[in-house]
Chains A and B, each alone.
Chain A
Amino acid sequence: MKTIRICCGTGCLANGSLLVAEEFEKKISQASVDAAVECVAKRTGCHGLCEDGPIVTIMPDNICYYHVRPKDVDEILEKTIANDTPVERLLYQNEQGVKIMSQRENPFYAHQTKIALRNVGTISPDSLEDYLAADGYKALKKALTMSPEEILTEMERSGLRGRGGAGFPTGRKWRTAAGYDVFPKYVVCNGDEGDPGAFMDGSILEGDPHSVLEGMAICALAIGAEEGFLYIRDEYVHARRSIKEAIRQAEAAGILGDNIMGSGKKLHLSIVRGGGAFVCGESTALMASIEGRVGEPRAKYIRSVQKGLWDHPTVLNNVETLANVPYIILHGGASYAAVGTGGSKGTKVFAMVGKVKRTGLVEVPMGATLRELIFDIGGGIRNGRPFKAVQTGGPSGGCIPESMLDLPVDFDTLKKYGAMMGSGGMIVMDDRSCMVEVARYYVQFLCGESCGKCTPCREGLKQMLAILTDICEGRGRIEDLDLLEALGETMQEASLCALGKSAPNPVLTTLKYFRGEYEAHILEHRCPAGVCTKLTSFAIDPDKCRGCTACARACPVNAVAGTARHPHAIDAALCIRCGSCREACRFDAVYTEGRDLS
């Protein structure tokens, strides 16, 4: 029996994996395959290497194909399924030009350790049988034989900390909630993943929904809750569909609902669809939103474990945190704690995007360095350009320069340097990324996404954006840099919630590590990366240009003139400074220079 796993994660779906899946299903049902070989096509969650999707894995041969198109299906069925031979051209080719058969040998996967993603990409998210076959709900069964105290001890032993970014010890959170004698209690799953470029939680919800439900059920047993909510952001249509189906299946099978596995215990889970506000990923704003109020945070001097939803004890955990729980209960806290660093146990999932060669979803032990992530797993920077910075933790995080690439990534280390690991978003940037513009982008994002309740965040962001826009457009003053820092300090100290407190981080870290770039914008009216359009003009070096016409074809406004095999030139009057010519040029002939602002 052979299984064909077709990745139907969001990235591969966008690349047409559904057509591939349908083609496989059609051909298999037509019995065009050798009748002696039984095989089944399975739609799975994200395989991880989104860059090279759609991905198809054949088990048990353990052969992984990339960039698969519907037209490749016949060949795969004929060669690999019927005759056990690989289709060479669909295999991964490593940097030495060697074709690689299995996923494990691919450098993207070789350095990974999968706990939270253990089933993502291998099981069919729509199939409860698949999940059960992968040891699913065994942890819940085990938890039913344990006392709440035993569950809490095991969680504490694991050292698991909240994967949403704050890193609060999960076991301690559960214990505090368990200690209150106020009922009902609630368990909430935060699936409002909103950081630009992040898709860790979405991938788990889509690819392995039952693991999150199982984690919530174990939490409910430990704290004594009988009701729970999964708050899933509006944009995650697939995730919601996947979770909804999983809840239905689990209830029908008697795993959730009025009588959990015949134990007499109850747990009812329901989905709450977010309204599209980034701030609702903040726990108290999220709870306000579930209650039907405006999604504004409140002061957290009294914690949600004491007074959360409707003022009742509530445990709110992130999707990834919950997905780790069944593993911990099944294999023991100690085995989980054996992975990771002293203060940060276990693994962390990252969504690595940007100018890195192999973008995708990765899971590594805590304490892996940024260099391992970006260069060993991600394969380094695209097009051989130099690494400039990596932005971690979304709008709350910071930009980390090359000098800090060997720092271990965990909850505590990056914080010391003004950045944070955050929930796992990781945007890699090369020398053509302007750090002032990056800071401006995040501040602009937050201007629209702050809830607007407290003064430092709302007004501070507004003024910050005005100043950063001025700098990007050549109206900056050198005193602005001190003012940005002072403003940033007030926002960090006096804002109401974590959004406001961390909102200045992108500005403060770029000021700290890339101050020279700010100064070039202000003092020389020059954007060193050639990104800020008001300060940049594009030109072609006639000595380097081979007249290949790639730039002329890429230009959206026909500003590049020249005949084939002769050096081209850019008409500055027509040029809109989009940088398409520079991206298109393979000879590094397009360069940028400052612009005469007068």
Chain B
Amino acid sequence: MKITINQIPCECERGESILQIARRNGIEIPTLCWHDGFPGQGACRLCIVEVIEGGRAKIVVSCVYPVERECEVLTESEKVRRQRGMILALLRKKAPDSPEIQALCERYHAPEIERFLPETGSRCVMCGLCVKACGELSVGAIATVNRGVEKEIATPYHEPSSACVGCGSCAYVCPAGAIPVQEMEDVRIIWGKTFSLVHCQDCGRVIGTAEELAAAAKKSGQEPDTLCADCRKKMIALSFRHTYGEIHR
């Protein structure tokens, strides 16, 4: 079926989210809680768009709104800009220490509302991606704690989690740079826990924490990695060359 986004006709499947369709067609919609690995949480509300269906306009959240019939989508209508601006203005104060969030606010011309109280020293926008990533990797070391305005993301009782394997996926998906990871020569410190790092046997590059590699090995049923991704490719290539000989053009 077909919908239009900002007057641009876009092919799509029934049930696809508007955000997916827009992305595929190179139309930008800002998001914080969307990651290709974990789509559709509907938490940050930045991806709101205006949908006109059967002559009626409404504001919907594009990451979870399934297209069921032909409609017209506006990602930059006056109403969308105004509401998105207010949401960004709120996030600006929620994460005043996050350069990523401040840059996003500039990019979308979010108003600076002096009256709003900033949360000092905060970078987190509570998008929930870190919790999602940790959960999907079946680690589950962090979760949302409390509710309402007190809600935060933490390990159980704010203590170093026995479940955490130090993989850093949470920090990797965080759009606001809110999860501090300290990485030294041989150790990585994350969520208050220190992990020793394993280096590639060939090139010496860091390939992960011992716990992370063990967890991955357990899941895949293979021996833990000892090589980095590049060196492993190299090794496989060498064995190919040994078997099939040099390829001459």
Contact = CB atoms under 8 A, between A and B. Distances in A.
Interface of A: 277, 279, 294, 298-299, 301-302, 446-456, 458-463, 465-467, 477, 479-480, 483, 486-487, 489-490, 493-496
B66 interface: yes
A277 to B, nearest CB: 6
Contact of B148 (A298, A449, A480, A490): A449
Interface of B: 42-46, 48, 59-61, 64-66, 79, 82-83, 86-87, 90-91, 93-94, 113, 115-117, 125-126, 128, 143-144, 146-151
Contact of B147 (A449, A455, A479): A449
A455 B45 contact: yes
B45 A463 contact: no
Nearest to A459: B90
A298 B41 CA distance: 8
Contacts of B60: 301
Contacts of B82: 490
Contacts of B42: 298-299, 454, 496
A463 B59 contact: no
A496 B147 contact: no
A454 B45 contact: yes
A453 B46 CA distance: 13
User: Nearest 5 CB-CB pairs, A to B?
Assistant: A452-B151, A459-B90, A490-B86, A462-B149, A299-B64
Nearest to B68: A301
A299 B44 CA distance: 12
Nearest to B40: A299
Contacts of B61: 299, 494, 496
Contact of A277 (B59, B143, B147): B147
Contacts of A486: 86
Given A299-B64, A299-B65, A454 B43 contact: yes
A170 to B, nearest CB: 24
Contacts of B117: 462-463, 466
B153 to A, nearest CB: 10
Given A486-B86, A494-B83, A458 B64 contact: no
B148 A494 contact: no
8 contacts: A277-B147, A299-B64, A452-B148, A456-B86, A463-B116, A479-B115, A493-B83, A496-B43
Given A452-B148, A455-B45, A463-B116, A302 B59 contact: no
A271 to B, nearest CB: 23
A462 B89 CA distance: 13
Nearest to A479: B115
Given A299-B61, A299-B65, A483-B115, A455 B149 contact: no
A496 B41 CA distance: 10
A90 B188 CA distance: 77
A302 B144 CA distance: 25
Contacts of A456: 45, 86-87, 90
Contacts of B90: 455-456, 459-460, 463
Given A466-B116, A466-B117, A480-B115, 4 more contacts: A298-B64, A458-B126, A493-B83, A495-B45
Given A301-B64, A302-B66, A459-B93, A450 B147 contact: yes
A357 to B, nearest CB: 35
A525 B232 CA distance: 73
Contacts of B115: 463, 467, 477, 479-480, 483
A435 B43 CA distance: 32
A242 to B, nearest CB: 29
A493 B48 CA distance: 10
Nearest to B15: A302
A450 B65 contact: no
Contacts of A294: 143-144
